[in-house]
Amino acid sequence: MAKRIIIIGAVALGPKVACRLRRLDPEAKITVIDRDSLISYGGCGIPYYIGGDITDIEELFSTTSHAVRDPEFFKTCKGIRIIPRMEATAIKRAEKQVVVRHLDNDTEETLAYDKLVIAAGATPITPPIPGADLPRVCTVSNLHSAKHIKEMIAQGGVGKAVVIGAGAIGIEMAEALTDLWGVETTLVEMADQVLPAAIGKNIARMVENQLEKNDVRVMISKQVTRILGAPDTGVTGVEIDGEAMACDLVVMSAGVRPNTRFAQDAGLATGSSGALIVDRNLRTTDPDIYAGGDCIEMRNLVSGENITMPLGSLANRQGRIIANNIHGRASQFKGTVGTFCIKVFDMGAATAGLTVAQAKAAGFDPVHALVAQFDRAHFYPESKFMFIQLIADRATRKILGVEAIGAQSDAVKARVDAIAPLLGTGLDVDDVCVLETGYAPPFASAMDIINNAGNVLDNIFEGRNTPIDMLDFLDVFEKENIRVLDLRDPSEAAPFITRHGDRWLNIPQAHLRQQFEELPRDEDLYLICGTGARSYESQVFLNQQGFERIKNVQGGYAVLAMTAPGFIPELEK
């Protein structure tokens, strides 16, 4: 007899399971239900729709060949039955039935299944802030809210916006509001950096500066404590740590909560996040019920811990695996290394694995290197600076994470993607030194930045490179009377000397072997150059000459300009 498959949820994972299963099994009775009237859309495209990169909302639920993915399309092209506006309210596991409600007429019915797939996704969290229920307080949850936000802005009703939460969606929304619409946007984040779940502080600070440079006001370590306004007027402002700020729109992007209540009620196990526990075959604790996408926990392959990772890409890959398993072809999803990328105006950032803080929390002793280098051969005209932070475990030299940012987004992604699939497989620092990525001058340096990140980290491990992060250097420079040795040309060092006097020394690297005896041996000396290469080389030389109080400021001027442009005299306004 034909198998009866019920799939709850028709956005990313659900349709993928259904279509794959139809190709595997022409007989199966496949039914997909969804609460929404709009289905199978690219939810991750919403900020680009609001920001105007995508003009017509239909593009978000159309195929490559411009067919609209509605229930009719799934019926005629895919042989799949999709029922919109139907919500699953309960699972009767003993009877293998799902209780569903038709949202249009509020009637209930019961659907029998042989296999059930939970692809119910997640819902944006609305933090319990007074005023959160006012008109013009929005979440970016689905196409209806996307349309609503865009219409409000297009009608000219929004001059100032506050975005709560600087995760990926918060940043993408801040960009969308500012870039196309010129809305004065403030991005408020409780943590002490943007993208706290994805990226470490060094690169996060660069993202923050990139946002500020593009007119997004970034407030970190701040909380919106109240939303001001009235039911008839809607939002008129917010209080941030008690201080009032006017605005006409509040976008909540404070994370999501998995839609698992009905599954929990049926006794399926969930983790601390509230998401469903699944095995490697993506089966829940009921062997006839599979789950995937935003409503499951998966194993972080680097830390070994269970995490949620609401990404359309993972959902799609999991969908194929669930279909295989239902069809009787064992197929596994082993977990995630948390690969992530984001466009921030004209830059791209990407990351995989653990940040330094996450690595510490997971029990590792992380060592990191931060490297600045051109993304193409430095003599190639379209070269731009890229910055990579590579993190490894002190005891084992195993790579724990990689983070990158740069002006050529795909080039940034290329470096992180070359490392990401190897995380959790035992990749160590030495492997990165010889990682064999493609080389030609229009694509990379002969010693590519990713190999150099390995080399620098190796040097740090070996104790030959004694680095200090830019943020720490700036802190020390402000608080203590330390001195800097600038190894660049005198013309480059001059503005710093003018400002800082004899705290800022200058010996170009080419003169160091002749002049090093002038330098103080009984003081801390912080070496800086253009990118960190000459300062490293000079540090090694000075160590060889018996200097013991030398630090190498990682990434040099290139990192300084991205981290603290205000510190640079010639960039100062």
Which two tokens mark 260? Answer: 């698992």
Instruction: Give the Cα separation of 292 and 14 in Å (integer).
Output: 9
- Distance of closest approach, residue 242 Cβ to its own copies, in angstroms: 35
What letter would DSSP give residue 159? S
Q: Least distance in Å: CB of 141 to its own copies?
A: 17
Closest approach of its own copies to the CB of residue 364, in Å? 20
Helix (H) or strand (E) holding 398: none
Burial class (CB in 10 A: 0-12, 13-18, 19+), 102: middle
Nearest CB to its own copies, comparing residues 262 and 536: 536
Cα–Cα distances in angstroms (integers) from residue 553 to residues 285, 354, 371, 527, 536, in the given order: 51, 23, 11, 6, 9
Least spacing, CB of residue 570 vs its own copies, in Å: 17
Which amino acid, 165? G
22 beta partners: none
Of the pair 100, 559, the CB lying nearest its own copies is at 559
Nearer to its own copies, 270 or 552 (CB): 552
Please give the full DSSP string across 308-336, using - where no structure is assigned.
----HHHHHHHHHHHHHHHHT-------B
Q: Which is nearer to its own copies, 362 or 540 (CB)?
A: 540
Comparing CB distances to its own copies, the nearer of 443 and 567 is: 443
Q: How far is the CB of 63 from its own copies (least distance, A)?
A: 8
Smallest gap, in angstroms, from Cβ of residue 462 to its own copies? 8
In this complex, which beta carbon is closest to its own copies, that of residue 253 or of residue 531? 531
CB-nearer residue toward its own copies: 27 or 502: 27
CB of 69 to its own copies, least distance (A): 11
- Least distance CB 3 / its own copies (angstroms): 15
Buried/exposed 442-456: b ≥16 CB within 10 Å, e otherwise = eebbeebbbbbbbbb
Nearer to its own copies, 334 or 479 (CB): 334
Nearer to its own copies, 78 or 102 (CB): 78
Q: Which residue has the tokens 């599979």?
A: 290
The DSSP secondary structure of 505-564, one letter per residue, reads: EE--HHHHHHHGGGS-SSS-EEEE-SSSHHHHHHHHHHHHTT--SEEEETTHHHHHHHH-
* Pair 349, 207: CB distance under 8 Å: yes
Structural tokens at position 124:
């944006």
Q: Which residues contact 377 (CB under 8 A, 6 or more apart)?
A: 383, 441, 442, 444, 445, 446
Least distance to its own copies, CB of residue 434, Å: 5
Q: Are 223 and 239 a contacting pair, CB within 8 Å?
A: no
